[in-house]
């Protein structure tokens, strides 16, 4: 490809690409994101390639290997256009049928279609509830492009926004547009991106930087990874637009080393941009110069904090800086540096292309646009979902997520990752909105959403998140380092049945100090899992401390396993599976667990046939139900 | 130097522009406790004992006074009930790393050790004074931190031999005079780890024997076997 030396040359190239494409042609969009790869999507793709060739369908069918579609639960995922047929859980063996039936004869392979919990078969991908209630403004393009091919991005108006900015908008106008759109930081803080840009723009200094924060570290969250894997150019285009508005010639992308596919696609995308002259000097002949370097982070959670991230870019240890001066004024090498999250940058080209009115028409008063969440935990449909801001948590979990697994009862949803908080059932009407979530002691965070059912112990959950944070604290300041250590120690004692009166007050005391006095946002938000669970599930903590009872039957030290003689039919399954020989009994007679031998491994509970459900966990003062006979 | 007017604990004070709250307070004879601060070294903001409340009413916030620069009209409170409560918690936590925190400090804020806390008696409170002295004053960078979170500790970097250390501080390790807990001086007063001594002994402040630093360094490829 030759370098594009003007905006009209870009238009010409786009026309040329589109002229070579037929929108009516059958297109297979197969996910090759990290999630589907784990389900062997690459083998499916290889079989498809050779199958298409064998059947001589090369001219009739386009095969596009894309990034994440979102419905990771049911990977590998495929959508067949133009009809929009959705196939799920495809195995390499299914490929023959897809080719001989669907591609050759236009017949649908029923067994690969989505079946909803009521048993209804849904043919079209966009009719599936998981997709139907989403608004995939940012994430939707993943399905139509091969992230390794810049032509695919150009075909969907890629770099049109950049061209518009460079050729017909002044930097001030671009800045005004983003400010008017009230685009707020998707990384968690929700700080208005336009204000950040402006602060960097107005900061004194000739050399300024723009940075992509792709140091996504929340356990279970992978929105940013999937955008970078599936549509790296959308982030890069946003970055260039930001650089133009702020007045920067140099950008950094700080990405986790643990995201090899995202790094690969990003590197490839940057290479292609350079080939087309979208990076370097005099971009599109407009006199705008820009260079990008990709910095791979070693995977420290704290490096997602802005000043720690910038230290890391400088080659220093990723520790937050103690200064009361914003990185937009003094960041990398002391230069003004604007840092925005992956998803924030990816929104920028959309705002330019579709306009402020479009963007602000989505969302709530204070939070505009959409937000991508990784919906995980005990819901039926796990995956990445993009919803308009303001959607109720209830709708996300029950309409899109399809409710809880195995008919269990909802208990809480944890938003905002380790620094977020838990939200109980009576607050499910809350809209997802930066301010609404902060108000109840949680936060939007980067978009982690973990659904918990009745079998989840909230003390155990708080302990889990503090364990993560104790590992990830940089250890520099006392409140975070010592505060997390001792809070975790107390929680461990509570879960082990060694809780004492006063422990909960002590937890609150340390949490308040850690929140108020820590050096950086990691420490300041670290007590959130403890504080929010204490607030909404106080009775559960009290049960642990006072009655030595874990109501959810999770904390091993507080539970015992029993076999209900009224239910046990003596099938012997538990006896055979018990690793320590703690179960005795004769065939067809109720079995008994020897509590002295029992190691509480949970095996008997899991293997007991559901029709009997004779193995019961008891905690505290609980007793086996008195038999009815 | 231009002067600015600030209020500390209700008293109007004139201080030099560019000072931190801590500097202004100390110049005016107002006590703010610190453990990681040293006037010769750059502020570090790690012990957080120096936190104060600034602003008024709804806009009150808590900042580390060793880092926060004063501006005209700034209102500071150094000893509110809230702040002193935080200091009490911080000191109580630190008592489980270092059991000889000056009694005056503990008494002033009513800090007591808590039997519900777990002990991690390394005697090193990770204030970083030795590390910063080595870096900022000596330009030696012989000392540094290793590990993060609770396993963070100060070490002599293994590729910096005792001889190298001696080339900066020929008579004695001067950093020991900066150590507030005395953990360096108690071990190495008048001596230093011998050159060529087995490396695990060459990090004076590493008390936590559970952690094999060499193993960690090997694992991350910093040194080879």
Predicted confidence at residue A628, as pLDDT, reads 52
What sign does the dihedral A84-A85-A90-A95 (CA atoms) show?
negative
**Predicted confidence (pLDDT) at residue A105 exceeds the cutoff of 60:** yes
A225 lies in a domain?
yes
What sign does the dihedral A361-A367-A370-A376 (CA atoms) show?
negative
User: B84 vs chain A: nearest CA distance in angstroms?
Assistant: 11
**Predicted confidence band at B186 (pLDDT cuts at 50, 70, 90)?**
very low
A341 lies in a domain?
yes
**Predicted confidence band at B201 (pLDDT cuts at 50, 70, 90)?**
very low
Compute the average pLDDT of residues B201-206: 35
Tell whether A498 is within 8 A of chain B (Cβ). Answer: no
What CATH number corresponds to the domain at position A30? 3.40.30.10
**Predicted confidence (pLDDT) at residue B159 exceeds the cutoff of 50:** yes
Do A401 and A283 share a structural domain?
Answer: no
* Owning domain of residue A74: 24-81+85-123
Domains of chain B: 3-79 (3.10.20.740), 80-121 (no CATH), 129-219 (no CATH)
Do A268 and A295 share a structural domain?
Answer: yes
**Predicted confidence band at B200 (pLDDT cuts at 50, 70, 90)?**
very low
Question: B94-138 pLDDT, tens per residue?
Answer: 999 888 888 888 999 999 999 999 998 777 889 999 889 989 999
Domain boundary among A546, A568, A586: A546
Print the SS3 string covering A196-248: HHHHHHHCCCCCCEEEEEECCCCCCCCHHHHHHHHCHHHHHHHHHHHHHHHCC
User: B114 vs chain A: nearest CA distance in angstroms?
Assistant: 10
What CATH number corresponds to the domain at position A184? 3.40.50.11540
Tell whether B225 is within 8 A of chain A (Cβ). Answer: no
Compute the average pLDDT of residues A419-448: 88
What CATH number corresponds to the domain at position A385? 3.10.20.600
Compute the average pLDDT of residues B16-40: 94
Q: Which two tokens stand for residue A518?
A: 């820590």
Compute the average pLDDT of residues A513-537: 95
Compute the average pLDDT of residues B52-65: 92
Do A31 and A56 share a structural domain?
Answer: yes
Predicted confidence at residue B161, as pLDDT, reads 57
**Predicted confidence (pLDDT) at residue B219 exceeds the cutoff of 70:** no
Which has the higher per-residue pLDDT, B76 or A304?
B76
Q: Is B4 helix (H, G, I), strand (E, B) or coil?
A: strand
Do A490 and A354 share a structural domain?
Answer: no
Do A287 and A213 share a structural domain?
Answer: yes
Question: Are residues A502 and B90, on separate chains, in Cβ contact within 8 Å?
Answer: no
How wide is the angle at C-alpha B21 spanned by C-alphas B16 and B26, nearest 5°?
80
Do A103 and A241 share a structural domain?
Answer: no
Considering only the beta carbons, identify the residue of A300, A317, A478 that sits closest to B48. A478
Max mean pLDDT range (A95-109, A231-245, B172-186): A231-245
Predicted confidence at residue B166, as pLDDT, reads 74
Predicted confidence at residue B84, as pLDDT, reads 97
**Predicted confidence band at A339 (pLDDT cuts at 50, 70, 90)?**
very high
Which B positions 164-223 lie with beta carbon below 8 A of chain A? none
A628 lies in a domain?
no
Question: A131-180 pLDDT, tens per residue?
Answer: 999 999 999 999 999 999 999 999 999 999 999 999 999 999 999 999 99
**Taking CA atoms, what residue in B is nearest to A487?**
B117
pLDDT over 90, % of chain B: 49
A575 lies in a domain?
yes
Predicted confidence at residue A187, as pLDDT, reads 87
For chain A, the average pLDDT equals 94
Q: Are A141 and A349 in contact, with CB atoms under 8 Å apart?
A: no
Predicted confidence at residue B1, as pLDDT, reads 64
Predicted confidence at residue B121, as pLDDT, reads 79
Tell whether A317 is within 8 A of chain B (Cβ). Answer: yes
Predicted confidence at residue B214, as pLDDT, reads 47
User: A256 vs chain B: nearest CA distance in angstroms?
Assistant: 17
Predicted confidence at residue A156, as pLDDT, reads 95
Which A positions 501-540 lie with beta carbon below 8 A of chain B? 502-503, 506, 509-510, 512-513, 516-519
DSSP B38: -
Predicted confidence at residue B218, as pLDDT, reads 52
Helical pair A260-276 and A223-230, crossing angle rounded to 10 deg: 40
Compute the average pLDDT of residues A192-208: 96
A144 lies in a domain?
no
Considering only the beta carbons, identify the residue of B48, B68, B120 that sits closest to A517. B48
Predicted confidence at residue B217, as pLDDT, reads 44
**Predicted confidence band at A324 (pLDDT cuts at 50, 70, 90)?**
confident
Tell whether A323 is within 8 A of chain B (Cβ). Answer: yes
Which has the higher per-residue pLDDT, B166 or A591?
A591
Compute the average pLDDT of residues A578-598: 95
Task: Report the number of distinct structural domains present in chain A.
Answer: 5
Question: A248-274 pLDDT, tens per residue?
Answer: 999 999 999 999 999 999 999 999 999
Do A177 and A322 share a structural domain?
Answer: yes
Compute the average pLDDT of residues A423-437: 92
Question: Residue B49: its chain A contacts at CB < 8 A?
Answer: 478
Question: Are residues A485 and B85, on separate chains, in Cβ contact within 8 Å?
Answer: no
Q: What is the DSSP string of A429-449?
A: T-B--HHHHHHTT---TTSEE
Do A598 and A463 share a structural domain?
Answer: no
Predicted confidence at residue B211, as pLDDT, reads 40
What sign does the dihedral B130-B134-B136-B141 (CA atoms) show?
negative
**Predicted confidence (pLDDT) at residue A580 exceeds the cutoff of 90:** yes
A136 lies in a domain?
no
CA-to-CA dists, residue B177 to A521, B135, B172, B182, B183, angstroms: 33, 15, 10, 8, 10
For the entire predicted model, the pTM comes to 0.90
Distance CA A537, CA A312 (A): 39
* Residue of A529, A527, A514, A531 whose CA lies nearest to A477: A514
Predicted confidence at residue B176, as pLDDT, reads 74
**Predicted confidence band at B216 (pLDDT cuts at 50, 70, 90)?**
very low
Distance CA A274, CA A6 (A): 14
Question: Residue A503: its chain B contacts at CB < 8 A?
Answer: 116
Residues A271, A274, A276, A281, Cα dihedral to 10°: 180
Do A300 and A158 share a structural domain?
Answer: yes
**ipTM rounded to 2 decimals:** 0.89
Predicted confidence at residue A217, as pLDDT, reads 85
Domain boundary among A524, A546, A568: A546
**Predicted confidence (pLDDT) at residue A3 exceeds the cutoff of 60:** yes
Predicted confidence at residue B93, as pLDDT, reads 96
Predicted confidence at residue A550, as pLDDT, reads 97
Question: A265-320 pLDDT, tens per residue?
Answer: 999 999 999 999 999 999 999 999 999 999 999 888 899 899 999 999 999 989 99
Q: What is the DSSP string of A268-314?
A: HHHHHHHHHTSSEEEETTTTEEEEEEEEEE---GGGGSHHHHHHHHT
Compute the average pLDDT of residues B168-182: 77
**Predicted confidence (pLDDT) at residue A518 exceeds the cutoff of 90:** yes
Q: Are A28 and A86 in contact, with CB atoms under 8 Å apart?
A: no
Question: B135-152 pLDDT, tens per residue?
Answer: 999 998 888 888 888 788
Predicted confidence at residue B163, as pLDDT, reads 66
**Taking CA atoms, what residue in B is nearest to A502?**
B116
A249 lies in a domain?
yes
Predicted confidence at residue B208, as pLDDT, reads 37
Do A168 and A291 share a structural domain?
Answer: yes
Do A539 and A506 share a structural domain?
Answer: yes
Domain boundary among A426, A453, A480: A453
Predicted confidence at residue A535, as pLDDT, reads 95
Which has the higher per-residue pLDDT, A77 or A439?
A77
Do A534 and A462 share a structural domain?
Answer: yes
Question: Are residues B149 and A489, on separate chains, in Cβ contact within 8 Å?
Answer: no
């Amino acid at each position: 490809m030759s370098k594009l030396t003007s905006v009209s040359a870009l238009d010409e190239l786009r026309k040329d690409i589109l002229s070579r494409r037929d929108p009516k042609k059958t297109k297979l969009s197969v996910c090759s994101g990290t999630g589907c790869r784990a389900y062997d999507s690459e083998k499916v793709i290889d079989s498809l390639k050779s199958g298409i060739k064998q059947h001589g369908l090369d001219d009739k069918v386009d095969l596009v290997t894309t990034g994440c579609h979102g419905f990771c639960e049911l990977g590998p995922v495929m959508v067949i256009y133009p009809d929009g047929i959705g196939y799920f859980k495809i195995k390499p063996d299914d490929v023959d049928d897809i080719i001989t039936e669907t591609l050759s004869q236009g017949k649908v392979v029923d067994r690969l279609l989505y079946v909803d919990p009521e048993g209804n078969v849904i043919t079209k991908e966009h009719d599936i509830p998981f997709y139907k209630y989403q608004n995939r403004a940012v994430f939707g393009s993943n399905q139509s492009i091969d992230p390794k091919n810049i032509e695919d991005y150009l075909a969907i108006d890629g770099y049109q926004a950049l061209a518009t900015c460079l050729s017909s908008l002044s930097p001030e106008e671009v800045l005004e547009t983003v400010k008017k759109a009230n685009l707020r930081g998707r990384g968690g803080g929700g700080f208005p991106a336009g204000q950040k840009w402006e602060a960097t723009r107005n900061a004194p200094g000739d050399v300024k930087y723009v940075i992509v924060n792709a140091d996504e570290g929340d356990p279970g969250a992978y929105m940013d990874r999937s955008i970078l894997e599936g549509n790296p150019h959308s982030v890069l285009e946003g970055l260039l637009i930001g650089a133009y508005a702020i007045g920067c010639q140099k950008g950094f992308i700080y990405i986790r080393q643990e995201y090899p596919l995202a790094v690969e696609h990003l590197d490839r995308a940057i290479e292609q941009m350079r080939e087309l002259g979208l990076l370097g000097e005099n971009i599109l002949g407009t006199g705008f110069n820009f260079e990008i370097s990709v910095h791979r982070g070693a995977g420290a959670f704290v490096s997602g904090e802005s000043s720690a991230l910038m230290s890391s870019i400088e080659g220093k240890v990723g520790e937050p800086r103690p200064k009361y001066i914003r990185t937009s004024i003094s960041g990398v090498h002391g230069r003004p540096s604007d840092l925005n999250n992956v998803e924030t940058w990816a929104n920028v080209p959309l705002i330019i292309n579709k306009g402020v009115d479009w963007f602000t028409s989505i969302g709530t008063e204070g939070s505009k646009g959409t937000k991508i969440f990784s919906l995980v935990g005990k819901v039926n449909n796990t995956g990445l979902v993009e919803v308009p801001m303001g959607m109720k948590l209830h709708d996300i979990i029950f309409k899109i997520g399809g409710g809880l697994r195995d008919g269990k009862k909802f208990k809480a949803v944890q938003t905002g990752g380790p620094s977020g908080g838990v939200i109980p059932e009576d607050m499910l009407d809350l809209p997802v909105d930066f301010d609404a979530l902060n108000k109840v002691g949680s936060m939007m965070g980067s978009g982690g959403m973990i659904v918990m059912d009745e079998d989840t112990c909230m003390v155990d959950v708080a302990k889990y998140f503090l364990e993560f944070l104790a590992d990830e604290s940089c250890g520099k300041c006392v409140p975070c380092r010592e505060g997390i250590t001792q809070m975790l120690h107390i929680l461990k004692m509570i879960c082990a049945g060694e809780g004492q009166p006063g422990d909960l007050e002590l937890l609150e005391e340390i949490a308040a100090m850690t929140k108020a006095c820590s050096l950086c946002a990691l420490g300041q938000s670290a007590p959130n899992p403890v504080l929010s669970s204490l607030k909404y599930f106080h009775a559960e903590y009290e049960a642990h401390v006072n009655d030595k009872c874990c109501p959810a039957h999770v904390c091993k030290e507080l539970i015992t396993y029993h076999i209900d003689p009224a239910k046990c039919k003596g099938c012997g399954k538990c006896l055979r599976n018990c690793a320590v020989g703690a179960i005795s009994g004769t065939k067809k007679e109720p079995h008994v667990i020897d509590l002295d031998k029992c190691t509480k491994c949970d095996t008997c509970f899991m293997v007991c046939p559901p029709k009997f459900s004779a193995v019961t966990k008891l905690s505290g003062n609980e007793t086996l139900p008195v038999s009815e006979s | 130097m231009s002067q600015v007017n600030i209020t500390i604990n209700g008293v109007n004070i004139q201080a030099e522009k560019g000072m931190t709250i801590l500097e202004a307070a100390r110049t005016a004879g107002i006590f703010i406790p610190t453990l990681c601060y040293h006037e010769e070294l750059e502020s570090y903001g790690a012990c957080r004992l120096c936190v104060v409340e600034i602003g008024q009413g709804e806009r009150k916030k808590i900042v580390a006074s060793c880092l926060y620069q004063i501006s005209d009209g700034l209102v500071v409170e150094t000893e509110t009930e809230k702040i002193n409560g935080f200091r009490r918690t911080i000191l109580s936590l630190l008592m489980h790393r270092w059991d000889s925190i000056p009694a005056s400090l503990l008494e002033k804020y009513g800090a007591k050790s808590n039997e519900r806390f777990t002990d991690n008696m390394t005697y090193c409170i990770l204030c970083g004074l030795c590390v910063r002295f080595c870096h900022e004053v000596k330009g030696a960078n012989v000392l540094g931190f290793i590990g993060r979170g609770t396993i963070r500790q100060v070490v002599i970097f293994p590729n910096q031999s005792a001889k190298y250390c001696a080339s900066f501080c020929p008579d004695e390790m001067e950093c020991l005079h900066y150590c507030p807990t005395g953990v360096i001086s108690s071990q190495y007063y008048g001596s230093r780890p011998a050159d060529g001594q087995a490396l695990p002994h060459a990090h004076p402040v590493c008390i936590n024997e559970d952690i094999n630093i060499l193993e960690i360094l090997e694992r991350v490829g910093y040194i080879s076997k």
